[in-house]
Structures are given as structure tokens and as C-alpha cells.
Structure 1
Amino acid sequence: MSALVASRCFLHLRPGLELCLRSRPLTPRSSWVKVMARFRREPPRRNLLSCRQGAFEEGNAAMDKAMRSTDEQLSHCKDGNGTGLDPVGKNFVNEFAQLSLEEEASDDVVCGISESVVRDVGKAAIELLAARAFTVSELRKKLQSKKYPVDAVDTVVADFKSRGLLNDGFYAESFSRSRWISSTWGPRRIKQALRQKGVPEAEVDQATRRVFQDGHGHGKEATYGISEASMDHLFAQASKQWKRGQNLTLENRRGRIVRWLQYRGFNWAVTNAIVRKLEAQHPP
């Protein structure tokens, strides 16, 4: 009986073992039988009751002592060996503060890296713009091809636009005037090139109007879409090409100058007017 009482006390202290012990069948052993026989031979039941009561009291006392010991250990934040635990005390607060500082430091590092990358992107953009002019789209693609982060590239591009270092309108007008004067490009070819460079359509139209039109909107400008001064410049350049084909027949010379004008982006109205004027002033 004392063994049974002790086992119950043990199960009370260690409830996790109760399922394991209950799952096993309780088979009586010979030693248990002898003990029970000895208790049966003892006539006074008061001794048995006192034994039960004493065993229970001892078990309860042991359990209370263990629980008090555990509470004291937790309250003093020490384990069984006397090592400090401090689950919610100073050490825990210090560890939490240290973790917060590490997170703040990591955020600063990230911000520092980001700022460093932005500076690198800005430096690369300045070097590119020092070599030649770029549109906004061209510069963005060029910087992204160098494997810079997209957000850093967008930041630099927006900053350069706000400071006037990037301006698609100025670029489109400068490009149009340069191609018109040096290569005799017409409005159609210039517009196509600017679209490929990512210039917005509104900037493209405005740039070609400034180069090929004088704003009066009458005479040759209304008929051909380009000003009289532009027609005169085009006729002078076409005359050079016409003279180079003096050994050709009239049809071949006409076809040659038509292809030259069409390739440079002039519409049929301008092309036909130039060819007729060339034939009139330079007869075969």
C-alpha cells in the first residue's frame, strides 16, 4: 500500500508519466502479495489507517515542498544549480535593448548602402552626360544596364530632371536641328528617331515644328508642312545630288533624287516640288 501511495504521489508530481503508466496493465507481483498478506495478519486497522494517512501526509508535504522550491527558484530566477535565469528581469531587458540596437544599426547600414548606391549612380550618370546628351529613357536604360538598382536609378533621373540636367524637349529640338542641318533629315525621319529614343510624342511634334516651320502657317508652310526657308535649304542640298548624276538619263536622275528625298523623311508633296524645280532649273 505504501508503494501505491508513493506512486500516486509521484504521478501527482510528474503528471506527464500518468498516461504512460496507466497504459500498462497492473499485474500483481509476488512481493505485493506478501506485503498484502502481512497487512492482513495485522489485526488493528488503526495502524493501517495511520499508515495511509502518514503516507499521504508525507506525499503532500513532499509535493508542497517541491512546488515551493520551484516557485522560489522562479521568483529568484535561478535553476536547480543556482544559475541565474532572469526570464523577465534585467538580463531580458538588456537583451531586448541590444536586439533593438542591432536592428537600428542594420537599418542604418541599409540606408547607408542605399545612399552610397545613389551616389554611385549619380556619378555614373554625370560621366555619361559629359560624353554626350541623353534622353530620359536612354539614360535610364544605360544606368540599368550597369546593374544598378531600379529605385536608385529612378531617384537619380528624377533629381537630374528637376535640376534641368535632363530635358527631352531641349534634346529633341537640338537633335532635330542638328540632323536637319548636317544630314538633311526630314520631319518624318527625325520623328521616328526621337520616338526610338523614348521622347514623348508631344515633345517630338513641338521640336520638329520649331525646326521646319516659322510659325506663320501660310504659303509653302501650309502646302508642304515646312517653311520657305526650309524648302530653300532642301533645294540647295538636292541640287548637289542632282549634279552628281549628270551622266545618267533623266529618268534615272529623277529616280535617284526621289529615293534620296524619301529616305531622308520628306513627304511626297515636298519630294515632287523639289524634283520639278530641279528639272526646271537644270534641264538635260
Structure 2
Amino acid sequence: MAALAASRRLLHLRPGLELCLRSRPQSCSSWAKGTARFRRDVPRRSLVSCRQGSFEEGNAAMDKAMRSPDEQLSHCKDGNGTTLDPIGKNFANEFAQHSLEEEATDDVMCGISESVVRDVGKAAIELLAARAFTVSELRKKLRSKNYPVDAIDAVVADFKSRGLLNDGFYAESFSRSRWMSSTWGPRRIKQALRQKGVPEAEVDQATRSVFQDGDGHGKEATYGISEASMDHLFAQALKQWQRGQSLTLENRRGRIVRWLQYRGFNWSVTNAIVKKLEAQHPS
């Protein structure tokens, strides 16, 4: 009974002590459970007599007792003297920052999972291992596999930054290969590259590199191709000319003209080759 009376007198002297003891968290791990049961009860007003201290001390005690539960809880300390702020300003700031980071992450991913992007990248590598592709061709191949467009764009951008996709290199390699193996001219090569989705600027650069890289600058202005390219073309046309020895001169001439124009050479180049064949190999 004596202990009970002493505790009542202590609470009467310190009205805010009951709230602090009742709301003080036992440990950081139990805070989540405690906040769910926390009640915003206004502490009971207690009269402070002059015997308990001066009038100013009584007002200070009353102000402390009238603090909100959030203020009381934020000013409680643990056993080590560390101030706990579970639902104070620090917690609110951290929660807001975490929410902003989550929103930024969602915007960057655009709703596409990393596993889908990896699948698209794996499929693109398998395609490029078989043969070279332009950017447009690779996009079409990946879209035919029903991959998301955003995932395809991400993989294509990554491959371009790493040099795995380069329309300029592809255009030059394609032009040189068709010129040396099949004797394609600039016009047919340009048409094929445009169909593959290569930009016009890179198409022009590739054909200039293949057909105008050499000596004979005077003939470049006349025929549009270098002297070395004209020599190579004449050697290939001569083989076709000799195969038609049984034909009349008119038919042989028509046959060479069709052969050159089908491969994409303009009339100035075609006419120069035909005249040279007739002059050097009349029979």
C-alpha cells in the first residue's frame, strides 16, 4: 500500500511521466507493433499546487504534460541514451526519399523486367553470330519473335554503344563484297542498302569508299568511279564478251549492255566499257 501511494504521488508531481512510460518503446524491433496500438490520448490535466514548486515550474510541468503523443514518443530515449524518432521528422524524410527512389526505378525500367531484356539480348547475339545485320534488320528479326518494343530498343542501343551494330561498317563491307564477288555497281548496291534500312548518308559514304578510292582522278569526274575500278570492271566484262563469240557483233554488244546495266552501272560507264571491248577485242 505504501508503494502504491508513493507511485501515485510521483505521478501527481510529474503528470507527463505516465505518458512517457506508457508510450516508451522497449526496443527498436518492437516499434512497428507498438505504433499500431498507439492511441492519441490527450493526457489528463493535473493540478499543480504551490507546494510542488514555484508557479513557473508548475506551468512548465503542465506544458510538458500537454505535449502531443508524437512529441512525447519522439523525445523518449533507449537504454543507451540514444534518442528514438520512429515517427518523427527523420522517419518521414527517409520514407519520402525511398518513395522517390522507387518511382525513379520504375520510370527507368518502364515496366520491363530484366529477364526479358536478357532474353532479347541473347536472341540478338545468336542472330549476329550467324551473320551481320543492319540495325533495321535486327529490329525486324527481334520483333518477329514477339519481344516488347521497349526491350528491343534497349538492347539495340546497348549493342550500338558497344560497336556490335554499326550501319556504316556494314554498308562498306557489303559494298566491297558485292563489288569484288558479283561485280555490282554503285546503283545496285545503293538500292540494296536502302532496302536494308541503312541511312542515305552512310550508303553514299560506303559506295564512295569502294568505287572512288584510288588513282585516276580525271576519270572519276567522267565515270563516277576510279581508274582501278574501271580496270576491274573491264576484266569482268571481257569474260562475258568472250563467251558470246558465236553471236553477231550487235547481239554481243546488247548482251554486255544488259549485263552492265543489271549490275547497276550508269550509261557513261557502260558505253566506255563497250567501246573498249570492241576496240581491243573485235572478234
Interval of TM-score (by shorter of Structure 1 and Structure 2): 0.5 to 0.7
Aligned counterpart, 2:237: 238
**TM-score of the superposition, structure 1-length normalised?**
0.61
User: CA 1:216–1:231 in 2, change beyond 3 Å: closer, same or farther?
Assistant: closer
Task: From the two aligned structures, give the one with the greater helix fraction.
Answer: 1
CA deviation vs aligned residue, 1:139-171 (integer Å, no higher than 9, x gap): 011101100000000000000000000000000
Write the deviation string for residues 97-155 of structure 1: whole angstroms up to 9, x where unpaired: xxxxxxx8xx7xx9896210100000000000000000000001110110000000000
Count of matched residue pairs? 184
Partner SS state of residue 159, structure 2: helix
Q: Give the SS at the match of 2:217.
A: coil
Structure 2 partner of 1:132: 131
Which residue of structure 1 lines up, in the alignment, with residue 154 of structure 2? Answer: 155
The amino acid of 1:190's aligned partner reads I
CA deviation profile, 1:215-243 (whole Å, cap 9, x unmatched):
66821111100000000000000000000
Matched residue type, 2:184: W
Q: Which amino acid aligns with 1:242?
A: W
TM-score where L is the length of structure 2: 0.61
- Deviation by residue 1:183-229 (Cα, 9 ceiling, x = unmatched): 00000000000000000000000000000002668211111000000
Match of 2:273 in 1: 274
The residue aligned with 2:163 is 164
CA contact (8 A) 2:261 2:270 kept: yes
User: Would you identify which runs of 4 or more consecutive aligned residues in structure 1 move more than 3 Å?
Assistant: 110-113
RMSD: 2.4
Q: Secondary structure at the match of 2:132?
A: coil
Query: 1:141 is matched with which residue?
Result: 140
1: CA distance, partners of 2:114 / 2:260: 51
Task: Write the distance in 2 (CA, Å) between the matches of 1:199 and 1:113.
Answer: 28
In the TM superposition, what whole-angstrom CA distance separates every residue of 1:57-87 from its partner, at most 9, and x where no partner exists? xxxxxxxxxxxxxxxxxxxxxxxxxxxxxxx
Structure 2 partner of 1:211: 210
Kindly provide the amino acid, as one letter, of the partner of residue 180 in structure 2: I
Whether the 8 Å CA contact 2:124–2:142 is kept in 1: the answer is yes
Describe the shift of the 1:233–1:126 C-alpha distance in structure 2 as closer, same or farther (beyond 3 A). Answer: same
What runs of 5+ residues in structure 1 fail to find an aligned partner? Answer: 1-88, 92-103
2:122 aligned with 1:123: yes
The residue type equivalent to 1:189 in the other structure is R
Q: 1:217 to 1:205 in 2, by over 3 A?
A: farther
Report % sequence identity. 91
